[in-house]
Structure 1
Amino acid sequence: MEAFVIANAERYYGVWLITRCGSLMKTGYNLHYWGLCLFILMLIGLVSRVVAFFGMITFKKK
């Protein structure tokens, strides 16, 4: 999400861009933390697959 917001920031203009970049800096967004972003995406994917698997077992679906 961080990389998406920062990469698309050039499409915005005017005061909105200034306030958006200011709020991103306050919350600590950093494009260089891509390893953490990939890890979180993989973790969310793994957790969702585990939940889906247990749901299939619980409801006896294949």
Structure 2
Amino acid sequence: MRFTVMRSGSVSAAGLARSSGVGQIDSAALSAVRGSLPAAPAGVTQQSLSITIPLNYRVR
């Protein structure tokens, strides 16, 4: 999962680093980061932060 968080907390440029091969799982991963996060604390001067994280899903 790759995404960029703006200083305001909004998430942009969300995408998959690699597909799981299962459309529903890929959609769930994207939904996990869409929307917004809390705004950056005072003193943070970066306009945005690009993040790549692994998401592991287990199908039961």
User: Which structure is higher in RCO with an 8 Å CA cutoff and minimum separation 6?
Assistant: 2
Larger Rg: 1
With normalisation by structure 1, the TM-score equals 0.29
With normalisation by structure 2, the TM-score equals 0.29
The structure with more helix, counted as a fraction of residues: 1
The structure with more strand, counted as a fraction of residues: 2
